[in-house]
Chains A and B, each alone.
Chain A
Amino acid sequence: MSMGCDVHADAILEHALGEPASAELQAHLRECDPCRAALEREQRLVGRIDVELREALTVTPSPALLPRVRQAVRMPRAQSAWSWPRLLPIAAGLAAVATLLVLRGRPEAVPSKQPATPAMAVARPPDPPSPSVAVPTPVPGRVVRPATVRRKPLQFEVLVPPGEAELLARYAAAVRAQRIEAPPAGVEDARSQELVVPQLQQIVPLEVKSLADVNPEGVDHE
Chain B
Amino acid sequence: MHGPGEILAEVAVTREASFDLEHEFEQRLGDSSKLAFRVAYSVLRQREDAEDVAQEALVRAYQNLSSLRDRERFRAWLVRISWRLAIDHRRSGKRRELREQAAVVDEQQSAEDEAAQSEFRERMWRAIDDLPEPLRVVAVLGGIEGYQMNELAALLELPEGTVKSRLHLARKRLLQALR
Which residues from chain A sit less than 8 Å from chain B, CB to CB?
13-14, 16-19, 42, 45-46, 48-50, 52-54, 56-62, 64-66, 68-70, 72-73, 77, 81-82, 87, 90-91, 94-95, 97-98, 167, 170-171, 174, 179-181
Contact = CB atoms under 8 A, between A and B. Distances in A.
Tell me if A's interface is mostly helix, strand, loop or mixed.
helix
**3 tightest Cβ-Cβ pairs between the two chains A and B:** A53-B143, A94-B4, A82-B15
A54 B143 contact: yes
B29 A66 contact: yes
A19 B168 CA distance: 9
B73 to A, nearest CB: 20
Given A52-B124, A97-B4, A98-B4, A45 B34 contact: no
B68 interface: no
B156 interface: no
- Interface-centre pick from A56, A91, A167 (highest chain B CB count, 10 A): A56
13 contacts: A13-B176, A17-B168, A42-B179, A45-B179, A49-B175, A49-B178, A52-B121, A56-B121, A56-B125, A66-B33, A69-B55, A87-B8, A95-B4
A46 B63 CA distance: 41
Given A13-B175, A16-B175, A49-B174, A179 B2 contact: yes
Given A49-B124, A72-B59, A167-B7, A13 B172 contact: yes
